[in-house]
Amino acid sequence: DRRLVPVAVFGILDRFGWGLWMPLLNAYLKEYAGFTDEFVGLYNSLMGAGMLVFSLPAGYLTDRVGALEMLVTNEFLGAAGTLMLALGSNTIALASAIPIGVSVSLWITSYNTVTSMILGAGSVGRVRAGVDATRTLISIPAPLIGSALFSGLGTLAPFVTGAALMVLATAPLIATKKTKEVE
């Protein structure tokens, strides 16, 4: 069904973008940002706290503002957090855990809502399985590519490339909203 294409393209770009850098996160924080083991743990705890604290507001905003709008917002927050992580001082890198955690909270509620609305309640399982399988299959090489970028072009390459793909992922959603194919 052609109504699945924008969400599938979004899912592929989103998953690939996050996959370029997320598997490298703890090693990056420790080896290149110079975080101690305790600060790597603190970073991950802050990301989890951001996800938890914003989970209820994310659901409210998704229902109130709209799932597509919140899915777009999630990508921009995630990209901003990724750039803060890679380009900022250690304090800014540590603070990046919050927008990244908030981004994940928004993604969960808005992605689940969008995928359940596309073909209706009777097709949620099929839509989720199809979109998730496609985005997972295509993103399998992302961590390997991210590692190659990290080694070949420098530590910033997978983060900046990932953030760019996350922003690019919003294009099919914005186009969909303009054509009102999914609301």
Residue 68 CA to residue 64 CA, distance in Å, equals 11
Strand, helix or coil for residue 63: helix
Across 119-180, the runs of DSSP E, i.e. the strands, are none
Interval 101-155: pLDDT, tens? 999 999 999 999 998 888 777 788 888 888 899 999 999 999 999 999 999 999 9
Interval 49-68: pLDDT, tens? 999 999 999 999 999 999 99
Which of these, 93, 98, 113, 120, lies nearest to 32 by C-alpha position? 93
* Residue matched to tokens 């380009």: 87
pLDDT grade, residue 172 (50/70/90)?
very high
Cβ count near 158 (within 10 Å): 29
Cβ count near 31 (within 10 Å): 11
DSSP letter (8 states) at residue 32: I
> Model-level pTM?
0.91
What is the residue type of 85? L
